[in-house]
Structure 1
Amino acid sequence: MKSYTLIFIFYLLFVFPVSGNERKTLPQFHFGGALRFNYNFSDWNRGHRDRGGDFGYDVFLLHPTASYKKLLLDADFRFYSTAFGGFMLKYGWIGYQFNPQNRIEVGLTRVPFGIQPSGAHNFFFQIAYYVGLEDDSDMGVKFVHTGEHWEYALAFFKNAEELLFSADAEVSDDRYGYDVAGRNKEINQLNGQVFYKWGENVIQKSGVSAEFGQLYNLDTRNNGTHFAFALHHELYWKGLSLKAQATTYALYPKNAPGEGRTLITMTAYGAPYLVAAKANIYSLSLGYKFPIHWGPFKSLQIYNDFGWLQKWNDNYKDSFQNVSGCLLTAGPVQTYIDYALGKNQAWLGPDWNGFGPGGGSDSWHARFNINIGYYF
C-alpha cells in the first residue's frame, strides 16, 4: 500500500497536468548521475603483473538538483564498493539565489580553495587533492559572487563531514574529500577566495585563496590551528588549457604529550594515511581539446598534469606525481586513459604513508588506468 501511495504522490507532483500559472510555482527538478567502471594495472602490484591488471566496478553516482523560485538544492551521492568507503555524500547543499551574480549555500558545500573544481585534467586530480586542498567539501555556509570580471567566495565551516556524533568519536573514514582524522578534527574554518578574469580570445583567470581554522584534539581537548594559502592562474585559448598553482600549508595540532606534531592523519575512501603537517605544493597542468570523428567519439582531450609536494621537514622525502593521458568523449560516455607516475604517492606506489615521511622504496612507480563512465 505504501508503494502505491508514493507513486500517487510522485504523479501529483511531477506528472499531473496543471495550468501555466500553477506550473510556474512548482519546483524544478533534474536527476543526473553516472555509472563508471575502472581498469587498473599497477607495476608494484604482483597480482596485477600476474593477471594483467584488474577490471571492475568503480562507482554509481546520483546528482539531483532542484529549484523553487530562488531556493536551490544541489547534491552528489556516491556508491563505491565497501573497500573504498561504500556510500558517501560528496556534497549536498541548500541555497538561495539573491540575483544572477550572488547566492548563498548551506550544508556540505565545496571549500573555496585553489583552482575550481580541480587543478588537473586527469582522473586522479592534482596532488593537492590528497592532502585535503582540492575538491573537498565541509559543513558550513558559503557566499558566492560571480561577476563579469570578478569572482569571490567567503565561507565558514563548522567542521568536516560529521557522521559520528559521540563526544570522543574520530572522523569517519567513509568520505570523498580528504580531511584531518585520527585524534584531531577540523573545526571553525574560515575560507576566502578571489578571482579576476579577463580576455576574449584568450581567457585568463588569476586568483588567490586563503584558509584558516582550528584543530580539536580528542585527547587533550585543546585547539590547535591550521592555515593554507594559494596563488593560481588559468589560461584558456581555443582548445588549450593551462592551470598553474603554488600552495603552502601548515597544521599545528595540540596532541597529547609524547606524540609527534610533524605528521597528521588524513582520511578518505575508507583508508587513512599519514601526511606531512607542513609543506608547499607546486602544480602545472596542460591540456588540449579538439574535435574528432572516430565512430561514436566526438572529442579528444590530451593532457599532462604534474604535481610536487615539498615537505618542510628535511628528514621527509618529497612526493611527486605526473599523469599523462587523454579524455575521449562519445555523447554521454566519457573515458579517461591515464599513465600515472608517482613517487612517495600513496595511491601511485607501494608506500601508503608516502605523503608523510615517505616510503622505503623512494622510487617512481607507474599505474596504467582506464575509467569509463556513462553520464546521464
Structure 2
Amino acid sequence: MFKTSKWLMVTAAVMLCLPVAASAFQVGDLKIGGAIRANYTIGDYDPILDRSSRAQEDGGTVALDTFRINLDYAHAQWVAKAEYRFYPGYGNNNHDGYHFPHTGWIGYNFDNDSQVQVGLNRVPFGPTAYGVSQSWMFDQHYYVGLADDMDLGVKYTKPMDNLTLDFGYYVSDEGTHNGANFSKDSVRYSYDVVDETGQGYEERHQFNVRAIYTVAGDSVSTDLGASLQYGLLESNGIQDDGDHMAASVHAVATMGNFKLAPQLTYYNYDVDAAQPLGTDKLVQMGAFDFPTLIAAEAFIPAVSLSYKIDTPGVEWLDYVLPYVEYSAIMKTESDFNDSEMAVVGAAWANGGWYIYTDLAFSNGNDFVGNEVGYGTSPGPAWASNRFGANTTNAWEYRGNINFGYYF
C-alpha cells in the first residue's frame, strides 16, 4: 500500500483531471464503477510537529479519504453487487494503509417483486440504508453498529402495497481483513463486536426483522417503521457466551423538499464481567482499523432535518442539500456520561461530484477532536472510551469537507 504522501499526490493528480459528468464502464451485464474521495479536516486536534495535522494551529489538513471499486451485475432476474475499498495510512508508525470488502452478494428478483440477497449485505435496521443521517459524519447509531452495518448472511425483502418487510439471518459479522495493522480484528467497514485479544467475543447467528409502512397524504408522505435485532456473542475466552438485542422505531416524513427523519433505539449487549475488559458495562467494538469501547446498554435518540434545493439556473451545480442533525448515546449506567453529537452542513451535487461540508460538535465521538483524549478505560491502553464511560465529557468540534467523485 502507499504511504500517506503518495496517496495525497495520487489523489490530487487524479481528482484535478476528473470530468464533471460521471460514467461507469459497461461490459455485457456487468457495470464497473467506483469513487475517489478526499477530506479537508480542521478542529480541536493536537498540533503535530514536523508534519501537517488537523489542528487549527496547523490550518487543518487534506488527506485521501478512500478509493473504491464497484461491480453491479444484472441478467434476467439475477443480480449481484460487490464493492472493495482502499484507505490510506496515517503517516506515522509505518502504517501504510488498509483495505477490505464493503459489499459482496448475489441476489434474485422474484416475480412478486420480492428479492433475496446472499453474501455480505446491509443489515435491515433503521429507516434507511444510512439511518436518519444525510451527513458524511453519520449519526451515533453507526458507531455502535446499528446503521449501515454489513454482515455475512441472507436477507429477504418483500413489498406488499404500502408495507415493506425485511427478514435477515447473519451467520457472522463481516470479519477483519489485512490484519497486519494497528488492530488485530478491526480492519472492516462497519462497527461490530471485535476480539482484539483473542479471548473476547465475536458476533454469531444474528436475526433481523424490519417493517416499514408508507402513509401517503396530499402534501406529506411518511414511512413509519420498526426494527428488531437479536444475535449471539460467542466467547473465545473464559467468560460465558453472551447475546445482544436492539429495537427501534423510526420514521421518514417528506413534505415538498423538506425531509424529517426521527429515530429512537434501545440496545443491550449482555456480556460477562470475566471478559478481557474486566467489566460487563462495556463492549469492545471496532472498524476502520480502530478498536473502541461502547456502553453495553443505552438508548439512542436521533433526528435529521434536510431541505433539497434544485439549482437549474446554476451551471456548475445540480442541487444542494442543507441539513441539521442531532443524536446521542444515552447510557443506562449512572457512572457513564452520555455521548452527544450535532452536525450542521450541506451536500453539493454536480454530475459525478458529491461534496459534503460538515461542522460537527460532540462530547463523545472518537472522530470529533482529540485534545481532551479519550478518557480512562479498562482493558488495553489503545482502547478509546468516548462511546463508553466518556469520562472527559468535553465538547469539541470538527470542520470537514469531503470531496467525492463517483463514476
Deviation at 1:272, TM superposition (A): 0.3
Give the Cα–Cα distance (whole angstroms) in 2 for the partners of residues 304 and 353 of structure 1.
26
Give the Cα–Cα distance (whole angstroms) in 1 for the partners of residues 112 and 45 of structure 2.
50
**In the comparison of the two structures, how many residue pairs are matched?**
348
Matched, 1:96 2:103: no
Give the one of 255, 273, 279 matched to 2:298. Answer: 279
Q: Which residue of 2 aligns with 1:114?
A: 126
- The answer as to whether partners of 2:239 and 2:274 remain within 8 angstroms in 1 is no
Matched, 1:218 2:236: yes
Give the Cα–Cα distance (whole angstroms) in 2 for the partners of residues 45 and 221 of structure 1.
38
- What amino acid sits opposite 2:73 in the alignment? A
Deviation at 1:49, TM superposition (A): 2.1
Give the 3 Å change call, closer, same or farther, for CA 257–229 of structure 1 in structure 2: closer
**Partner SS for 2:308:** strand
Q: Flag as ranges the 4+ runs of structure 1 deviating above 4 A.
A: none
Same amino acid, percent of matched pairs: 30
**Partner SS for 2:385:** coil
Name structure 2 gaps, 5 residues minimum. Answer: 1-25, 48-52, 178-182, 375-383
Matched, 1:188 2:205: yes
Matched, 1:349 2:381: no
Name structure 1 gaps, 5 residues minimum. Answer: 1-13, 16-26, 165-169
**Partner SS for 2:290:** coil
- The answer as to whether partners of 1:305 and 1:323 remain within 8 angstroms in 2 is yes
Give the Cα–Cα distance (whole angstroms) in 2 for the partners of residues 238 and 148 of structure 1.
22
- What amino acid sits opposite 1:237 in the alignment? M
Pairing of 1:1-376 with structure 2 (within 5 A): 28-46=29-47, 47=53, 48-83=55-90, 86-99=98-111, 101-118=113-130, 119-163=132-176, 172-182=185-195, 183-199=200-216, 201-220=219-238, 222-254=240-272, 256=274, 259-292=278-311, 293-350=313-370, 351=374, 352-360=384-392, 362-376=393-407
Give the Cα–Cα distance (whole angstroms) in 1 for the partners of residues 70 and 169 of structure 2.
24
Deviation at 1:78, TM superposition (A): 1.0
Residue by residue, what CA displacement relative to the aligned partner does 1:76-122 show, whole Å, maximum 9, x if unpaired? 21111134962111121111111262011111111111121121110
TM-score, normalising length from structure 2? 0.81
CA RMSD of aligned residues (A): 2.1
Give the Cα–Cα distance (whole angstroms) in 1 for the partners of residues 184 and 172 of structure 2.
10
- Bigger drift between 290-299 and 173-182 goes to 290-299
Give the Cα–Cα distance (whole angstroms) in 2 for the partners of residues 143 and 31 of structure 1.
25
Q: Greater share of strand residues, 1 or 2?
A: 1
- Bigger drift between 289-298 and 269-278 goes to 289-298
Deviation at 1:171, TM superposition (A): 6.9
- Bigger drift between 201-210 and 241-250 goes to 201-210
- Bigger drift between 247-256 and 329-338 goes to 247-256
